[in-house]
Structure 1
Amino acid sequence: MARRQPPAHLDEDAWLEVIGKMDEVYSQLVQDEIALEEKNAELEQSQQFIAGLLASMSDILLACDPEGHIEESNHALRDLVGATEAQLRGSPVYALLGDSASAAQLRKTLGGLRRPNASASLEVNFKGADGALLPVDLSCTVRSNANGRCLGHVLVGRPLGELKHAYRQLHEAHEALKRTQQQLLHAEKMASLGRLVAGVAHELNNPISFVLANAHVLGGYGERLQRYLQAVHDDAPLEQREALRRQLRIDPLLADLPSLIEGTMEGAQRTADIVSALKRFSAMDREQLGEVQLNEVIERAIHWITRGVAPDLRVHWQAESEPRVQGNAGQLLQVLMNLMQNAYDAARAAGRTPPEQWIAVEQTPGWVTLRLRDNGPGIAEEHLSQVFEPFFSTKPVGQGTGLGLSISYSIVERCGGSLLAGNHPDGGALFTLRLPALG
């Protein structure tokens, strides 16, 4: 019986289907190969990135398995111990240590670290490339898989020599900063002293000039009296003595002596009063707190400022009570003079003529509040939170240290009070000084 052949069109369909499947497989292979190459490129890039990180680390780093055999290290470690990567890979980490005590300490530490994320720190001695012992501050951390199984440890450390050098540099920088701070504080104190001295010099000038003028006149009177008394002692004739008496104007001289002596005594007493006031405001213990007559401090601050650096400052203040506060008279005088100086500078810089300041005192139970307002431009909103910061200043470079308000704030805090800065509704800056009341 003859076999029947399949139709020709069936063979063509089968081959077309096979060819189509082959194309699909080939296309998938090409896509898989492209994806594999991309993954290899990403992996190579990641390895280069990690290698770059390891190479750039200044701290030493190594990874070891649970038995302590080195699996990875960085350049810093290899440079420290003087070995290549091939020499280190697979060798025990304990062989890098310079003494048996360090090896035993590290072995004990790694043996006790098995939990995920567990870590410990210790100080061990590595053996340097030249054989010298190098103390290293070492941090050990467990390296684990997703299931929490310990795969080994990662050790990161820094030679203590570098740390000591860094600490020494930090200490030197800190000491330099302290010296600079002391110099700046001294400069601010000298600036406050300069304002005070300017007022004192002006205040002393009048009585001293008066005393000197009277002393000069008294010197001339003394010479004339000596000439007349010499004639009397020489028993000169009466007519000659009378003529000399008229010539030397002895009678007007004698009449003028009491007023000269009285004026000289008054000038000397005025000088003594100024010195006494200075002594009261410069107590030996600048930190000691006590009872302060606030009105006296305000009057003295106005007096020294207007007699010295701010002669055209117009101050509006009227004492209506006798508030007594807790504080230090000398330090509170420094605070008020600083606030008044700042007010004067701000008003002058804004072209106010004349510069003016208003001072008001309010007493409430337990507190005395002193408010100082000027006719300057006020404080910019963005500066209100900075005015008491050290070294902050809106004045031109070279005018002030930027420490006046910061020191004033600290002084008021030590007195148990507060110092606030703001702007008055009618314009100008407003500083509110609040101090504990006594009595």
Structure 2
Amino acid sequence: MATYADPRPSSAYDFAGAAEPDAATAQETAWIEVIRKMEEVYSDLIQYEVELEEKNTALEEAQRFINSVLSAVSDILIVCDQRGHILQVNLAFLRLTGHAEVDLFERPLDELLAETTGELRLYSWIDAQPGLEREVRFRSADGGQTEPVALNCATRLDHRGLPAGIVLTGRPVGELRRAYEALKTAQAQLVQQEKMASLGRLIAGVAHELNNPISFVYGNVHALAKYSERIGAYLDAIHGGCSDELRQRLRQELRIDNTLADLPALIGGTTEGAQRVADIVRSLKRLSFSSAGGPESFNLSEVAAKAVQWSSSGSRGSAAVGVDLSAPLPIRGNAGQLHQVIVNLVENALDAVAGISGGRISVQGHMDKGEAVLTVEDNGPGIAEDILTKVFDPFFTTKPVGKGTGLGLWISYGIARDHGGSLDADNLPGGGARFTLRLPAAF
């Protein structure tokens, strides 16, 4: 009987039998790879979650920081969308109006404006007048109105740089106005004190100036009283029927002839002294600090001469004061105010050369291209370059405490400006300071 050989290789069974373990290994490897990938994804998710929590914490801290800053800011802050509806306000606005923040969200801003304010029309306000403040009043929670608020408006942009809304900032001006009024009152008081100080210096000079004619008049009146007694005794003897011999003797003893000869000079001198006093009083009345009478035409040279004379007379210094005011300086204005300016300049010059051996002050006047120019120079230490631009600032002074208010030059500068002129300061090439007053001439 014939037999047939198995055509399959003898190793086929072994090969098929080996195939099953290899598939299992591949499947196991695939699952291991899947698990590894899942672990990587899970690890990435964990890391992402940690980073997200850190960013969230940082964001919360930034939010708290911004909120704390907004709460600490004294100016009010209002953020609106493009429709003008409120998105956010700060604590200052809530305190100002008394509203709760939850009641303001998505509320139109115009509803919070007082009736006297009207609509803001925010975007048109920005486009027409960028950066301009507008004074508004808000409705308070109790139905009243807040103090006036100086409000400024700006456009809020999104991340693309496109308009996303409005940001309004401002501050109540009521307190500022009260502080400003208090400052104006204090300033007026200080200015008045400076005027009184100038008046005191003026009176010192005038008192010295009045002393000479008054002393002269007093001396003449005293002599006239003695002469009156002599003449009275002589006339009494004559009217009593004295003899010619007694009359002649009394005439010689009482020096009647010399008395009669001296009378015209005494009377003339007394009249001249009284006239001098009257002129000084008239000048004082004209040099009033008040400008109620309006501007008048006068010669600045005459006013300056009186100012220099009275200032130097009332000064205790020994500085030589040279005056060259021969040229007429016709101007129009208030003589009293300009007298105060010149007194201030001369007084400052006297202070600058006080204690300096050979101290000199020069006051000169001349006309220059339709302007009356008056200069006051001294040979003192001059003005330091770093303060040369500050000498006309209010309350700035280089004098010791109690010796000056720092308002004299500031007031003088304002008076010169009000008269349409100028007041400048500079240093002389050879040393010393020079102040130049320029005023429009009146022809």
Q: Same fold (TM over 0.5)?
A: yes
Aligned to 2:226: 220
Aligned to 2:273: 267
How many pairs align? 409
How many Å apart are 1:10 and its aligned residue? 9.3
Aligned to 1:374: 378
Alignment equivalent of 1:406, drawn from 405, 410, 425 = 410
TM-score for the superposition, normalised by structure 2 = 0.71
Task: Map residues 106-117 of structure 1 onto 2, 5 A cutoff.
Answer: none
Task: Map residues 121-140 of structure 1 onto 2, 5 A cutoff.
Answer: 133-135=143-145
Task: Map residues 26-425 of structure 1 onto 2, 5 A cutoff.
Answer: 27-49=43-65, 52=68, 133-135=143-145, 167=174, 169-282=175-288, 285=291, 288-309=294-315, 312-319=318-325, 321-348=327-354, 351-425=355-429
Q: Helix, strand or coil: the match of 1:372?
A: strand
Give the whole-Å Cα distance in 1 for the aligned partners of 2:221 and 2:57.
103
Give the whole-Å Cα distance in 2 for the aligned partners of 1:179 and 1:356.
39
Q: Helix, strand or coil: the match of 2:324?
A: coil
CA deviation map 1:374-416 (0-9, x unaligned) = 1111111221222112222111222222221122112222222
User: Cα gap change, 1:10/1:170 in structure 2, threshold over 3 Å: closer, same or farther?
Assistant: closer
- Structure 1 gaps of 5+ residues are 95-100
- Structure 2 gaps of 5+ residues are 1-12, 128-133
Q: Which amino acid aligns with 2:180?
A: H
How many Å apart are 1:205 and its aligned residue? 0.7
Give the whole-Å Cα distance in 2 for the aligned partners of 1:176 and 1:296.
39
Q: Helix, strand or coil: the match of 1:186?
A: helix
Give the whole-Å Cα distance in 2 for the aligned partners of 1:333 and 1:260.
34
Q: Helix, strand or coil: the match of 1:389?
A: coil
Give the whole-Å Cα distance in 2 for the aligned partners of 1:6 and 1:121.
88
Q: Which amino acid aligns with 1:292?
A: F
Is the 8 Å Cα contact of residues 94 and 101 (structure 2) preserved in structure 1? no
User: Cα gap change, 1:342/1:72 in structure 2, threshold over 3 Å: closer, same or farther?
Assistant: closer
How many Å apart are 1:147 and its aligned residue? 9.0
Is the 8 Å Cα contact of residues 289 and 337 (structure 2) preserved in structure 1? no
Aligned to 1:98: none
Q: Which entry has the higher C-alpha Rg, 1 or 2?
A: 2
Taking every aligned residue pair, what percent have the same amino acid on both sides? 44
How many Å apart are 1:77 and its aligned residue? 5.7
Question: Mean alpha-carbon deviation: is it higher for 306-315 or for 75-84?
Answer: 75-84
Is the 8 Å Cα contact of residues 286 and 328 (structure 1) preserved in structure 2? no
Q: Helix, strand or coil: the match of 1:392?
A: coil
TM-score for the superposition, normalised by structure 1 = 0.72
Q: Which amino acid aligns with 1:40?
A: N
Is the 8 Å Cα contact of residues 122 and 166 (structure 2) preserved in structure 1? no
Is the 8 Å Cα contact of residues 60 and 77 (structure 1) preserved in structure 2? no
